[in-house]
Structure formats: structure tokens, C-alpha cells
Amino acid sequence: MTCITEPNFPSTNEDASKLATIRTLPVRPVFIMGLHRSGTTFLYDCIAKSFPVAHLSLYHLLYFDRLLVNKEHGSEQQDKDLLNRYFTDKGISDRNIDGTHINADAVEEYGFLLRKKSGSFKINDHNADFFALLCQKLLAVQDETMAVLMKNPWDTGNAKRILSYYPDARFIYISREPIAVLNSMLNAFLSYLEGPQDYLEILLNDGNGRSSYRSGYILWMVLRGVRKLVGPKITARLARGLLAKNVAQQVTSYRKELSEMPANRAIEVEYSALINNPSAVMKTIAPLVNLPLGNKQRNIKVTQRKNLNPVLMNYEEKLNQLVDTAAS
């Protein structure tokens, strides 16, 4: 039997006595807004390599209550190494749903931390102060950073409320063809049903094991049962219709929100333009974020998955009709 490394996640707020020292730091978040599977992760990587921004990594998320202590004692790498060994022992090398590589420094959505601390994936009245603290902590523990780069597709549609909490926030929207978003969502969903989701379970665990996400786990088990009963092809067709309606609703919400945002607080970039020329897109973003543009853009690696799921062949017209209906 393989011995699993104990990750030693904080069970108490070890940073409590140090919080007063960072409360004067600015709260200046830069939000990446877009649908799930629309290219937000790639956009995040581009911006992180182009501007002096702090980011939220898996290390920051899972050891949040020890970040200031570790910074002071110079023990950050110790917990990062521990986390990497834990992932290795658990057989976790990627996110499973899309093959994105995972280690302690991999970026993740802040919604998972909000859920652990407040029960909600979205910023709201109950967790707005906590999110501000998150921004200040990330600035405190990452040297030579001037703003905090955040992503959480759950908050797309919530920008006006967020701006009321943090007037200095900036929003970078990314748009992608609905059929490409649907294709990525569908493939991720089917991968989700393939086998154990150890990585996702780590993110959802608030210290109470599977009781932390009981309803989600039961739903996953039911969906796996359906897949086993009807087979992968029928499962894909059933999922197609449900996900298409969801994409149509999200696209409508996205477009409405963007149209209502102040021009000096938001900008939209096209996924196709970002893929074709990341450096040029970063230059268009620079005036909005008001941060110096660095020279690490040459390290940006462009990867695309172009294969369309067979159940989506000739489905683009139908999807566009759903989008038009949702908008009317």
C-alpha cells in the first residue's frame, strides 16, 4: 500500500497576529472575465508573464492561513515541496478534465477559496472583506508586484457589484466563438465522468472530507451511472443539449454585462487574436491596467485543441439560434 504524504494544510489561522501589518496595502485587483472554457487560463498566463502582478497559485489557495508566517520564516518552498509530493503520491499530474499541468505554482480560480471561507463561489456582501484581505496577502508575499491578477468564471455577470466593492478594479473580458466554448465544456464534462476527481476533491474539501461537497459527489456518482447505462455516445448527446442552453445563457449575460461596464474599467479581447499574437494583445491591455509591460512575453506558449467532438458536427447553427433566443 502506497504511503500518501501528509500535506499539512493549515487547520487554524496561523497568520492572525500578522494581518494588521498588511491592511494598508492597496486592493487593486485585475479580473479576467469570461465563460468557463473560453480561454481564461491562457489569458491569465499571458498577463502574468507580461505585467508585475501577483497571482493566486495552488500553494496560496491551500496554505492561505499560513502565507504570512511562511514568508517571514522563509519556509514557502518547504510547503510547496510538500504539496508537490502530495500530488505525486495521489497520482495527480493535471486537472484531469483538460490536461492542464498541476503543481504548487499552478494558478487556480479564487472561487474555490471563497467557497471554503464563505460558502459561495462568487464575491458578495458576506465575503467582500475577505477577498480584499486575499488581495493584500498576495501582494505581501509576492515581491515586486503592483496589482493582483484574478480569475473566476463564476463571477462573470457580477462585475458591477464587484466594482462597487473595489473602485480601482479593472476587468479584462475574453470572448470566444460559442461553438468552441461548448466543445471545450462538453469534452471537459465527459472527462469529468471518466474516473476519480482527486484534484477537484482537494479544492472542494473545507476540512470535512466528502461531506464538504456531498451533493456534488452524489450527482457525480449518478451521472457516472447514467454514462455506464446508456454509453458514452448517448451521454454526449444528452449533455450537448443541456450545456448548449447553459452556454447561450452565459453568452447573453456576458454581452449584457460588458455593454454596461465603464470604458475606463473594462476591455474585451478576442481569443483568436490572443492565440495569433499574444504580445500585440498585451499592448492593447497595458493602458487599462496602467502597469509597466515587461519582456517575458517570449515565454508564452500557445497550445490549441481544435478537434470538434463528433456530436457537435453541424451543430453551430443550432447553438447560435439558442444564443439569439436567450438574448431576445
- What are the residues facing 151 on neighbouring strands? 32
| pLDDT above 90 for 211 | no
Q: Global pTM?
A: 0.91
Using alpha carbons, select from 110, 103, 117 the residue that is nearest to residue 33.
110
> Which structural domain, as residue segments, surrounds residue 236?
22-327
Mapped onto helix, strand or coil, the DSSP state of residue 210 is: helix
Query: pLDDT band at residue 322, thresholds of 50, 70 and 90?
Result: very high
Is 8 among the domain residues? no
Is 17 among the domain residues? no
Rounded to the nearest 5 degrees, what angle is found at the Cα of 271, between the Cα atoms of 265 and 276?
Answer: 120
Question: Around 24, how many Cα atoms within 13 Å sit in the side-chain half-sphere?
Answer: 1
Cell numbers describing residue 287: 493602458
Is 15 among the domain residues? no
Strands (E), 116-184: 147-151, 170-175
Is 6 among the domain residues? no
Query: pLDDT band at residue 304, thresholds of 50, 70 and 90?
Result: low
What is the rounded distance in angstroms from the CA atom of residue 158 to the CA atom of residue 253?
10
| pLDDT above 90 for 255 | yes
Query: What pLDDT does residue 305 have?
Result: 60
Positive or negative torsion for Cα 197, 202, 203, 209 = positive
Query: What pLDDT does residue 263 have?
Result: 94
* Average pLDDT score over residue span 89-101: 83
Q: The CATH number of the domain where 310 resides is what?
A: 3.40.50.300
Is 16 among the domain residues? no
Is 108 among the domain residues? yes
Percent of the chain at pLDDT exceeding 70: 96
Is 133 among the domain residues? yes
Is 98 among the domain residues? yes
Q: Which pLDDT tens digit goes with each residue over 115-170?
A: 999 999 999 999 999 999 999 999 999 999 999 999 999 999 999 999 999 999 99
**Minimum mean pLDDT range among 40-44, 104-108, 299-303, 305-309:** 299-303
- Tell the burial category of 222 from Cβ atoms under 10 Å away from its Cβ (0-12, 13-18, 19+): exposed
How many domains is the chain built from? 1
